[in-house]
Amino acid sequence: MKLSEGVEQAIHSVAMLASLEADQVLSAAALAEFHGVSPSYLLKHLQALSRSGILGTVPGPKGGYHLAQTPEDISLLDVVLAVEGPEPAFRCKEIRRNGPNPVPEGFFKAPCQINAAMLRAERSYRAELRKVTIAHLLAEVREDDDGTLAARSCAFLDANVRISNQSRQH
Amino acid sequence: MKLSEGVEQAIHSVAMLASLEADQVLSAAALAEFHGVSPSYLLKHLQALSRSGILGTVPGPKGGYHLAQTPEDISLLDVVLAVEGPEPAFRCKEIRRNGPNPVPEGFFKAPCQINAAMLRAERSYRAELRKVTIAHLLAEVREDDDGTLAARSCAFLDANVRISNQSRQH
DNA sequence: GCGCAAGTACTCGGATATAGAGTGTCCGAGTGGACCGGG
DNA sequence: CCCGGTCCACTCGGACACTCTATATCCGAGTACTTGCGC
């Protein structure tokens, strides 16, 4: 029961991308350097986010990534599922049908009680993540910020933002 | 984000152990055969449950495992944490302090907003698991059972239960 | 001088190596019962 | 026949291999800019 490190990188990257204007993009290399992580590894997760429709890409020089949805529409759950995959954490192997005296087939119509309880808990987990959007996170950060964090982000954006001459698409 | 297979084995084993009387024990080998899983691997998790105080052990021949708490006091969360470990699934690496322009130290007094949101979700997950006890699970199973499952368990218990001459302890 | 075309540099994308944890196995410490010998 | 001691078989316990996924990396496809040539 542990989440990939890529989840944290992905969330930070999405939050950063949420700060730029329309028709602006950031390269994966810039995001990786800013966060001090492996460029290739971050790229892998950015691609997953792109496949999930959270990010859009602009190929070629001066290309990069941008949000494909508004920050209000992207929840933490969307990002986590894009990176970790959609399958639930608890996968019932139905070991009741193993062994010398397996449970008869008829009982498999209803899901195992244990599986049901575990999935209930995971639904609760996902519901909590669904409530939090990228917009919420940014608002919280701004609330506690005296300007230092904003200045840091702006400096990075000024140095690395690129204006794509393609209209925003996904 | 995925749970070990041992979690399922552990929960089924605890549920089985909940069905036996005081001063009765079951060997790890019997539980493994009944569930059709690797004896050595199940043993590993039973030991973890023992270290966590959920199970008690009786060494020597005619020894085995028994519950160290009542089924009403053992929640699914207890079992999951014993097998998977207590640390949360999302471990914030604070990548904000990485890179060429790290966030100043002062901001680390408060936890990262992202970390806070992820931990909130996990608290919800754990709360849901805490609500479900082994006693609840057994009651649910009995409710849907026409006698087949009960007969299966009884047959196994009759063949494998051992009466320990030690008083129940942990 | 202007337009066009080829070359180039930089981007994302997927296929490919490596490391760590989950999975599976083995051997050792300890204990209760069984057996054997003595009383 | 009864009792004590020794041996043995079976248990849990922790230390040791193996496998698979998460991690980290590299090379290939595609595109916009640059540069050179022709008109």
Q: Which of A46-55, A156-165, B14-23, B149-158 has the lowest mean pLDDT?
A: A156-165
Contact A103 B127 (CB under 8 A): no
d(CA B98, CA B106): 15
Q: Å from B15 to nearest chain A CA?
A: 10
Residues A54 and A14 sit within 8 Å (Cβ to Cβ)? yes
A163-167 mean pLDDT: 61
pLDDT tens figures, A6-31: 999 999 999 999 999 988 999 999 99
Q: β-strand A55-58 against B162-163: which pairing, if any?
A: unpaired
For residue A55, what pLDDT is reported?
A: 97
- The residues in A 53-72 lying below 8 A from B, measured between CB atoms, are none
**Which amino acid, one-letter code, is at A164?**
S
- The residues in B 137-166 lying below 8 A from A, measured between CB atoms, are 137, 140-141, 144, 148-149, 152, 155-156
Three state DSSP letters for B145-162 = CCCHHHHHHHHHHHHHCE
CB atoms within 10 A of CB A140: 15
CB atoms within 10 A of CB A51: 10
B52-80 mean pLDDT: 95
Pick B100 or A125 by higher pLDDT: A125
B114 interaction partners in chain A (CB closer than 8 Å):
8, 11-12, 15, 76, 137
B79-99 mean pLDDT: 90
Asked if pLDDT for residue A53 goes beyond 70, the answer is: yes
Q: Is residue B145 very low, low, confident or very high in pLDDT (cuts 50, 70, 90)?
A: confident
Domains by residue range for chain A, with CATH? 5-88+134-163 (1.10.10.10)
The CA–CA distances, whole Å, from B102 to A34, A156, B58 equal 9, 11, 55
For residue A169, what pLDDT is reported?
A: 38
Which bases of chain C are contacted by protein, using any atom under 7 A from a CB? 9-15, 22-26, 29-33
Angle at B9 between CA B8 and CA B15, to 5 degrees: 90
d(CA A47, CA B125): 29
Asked if pLDDT for residue B167 goes beyond 60, the answer is: no
For residue B1, what pLDDT is reported?
A: 75
Share of chain B above pLDDT 90, in %: 73
A138-160 mean pLDDT: 92
Contact B107 A3 (CB under 8 A): no
**Quick check: helix, strand or coil at residue B70?**
coil
d(CA A140, CA B10): 40
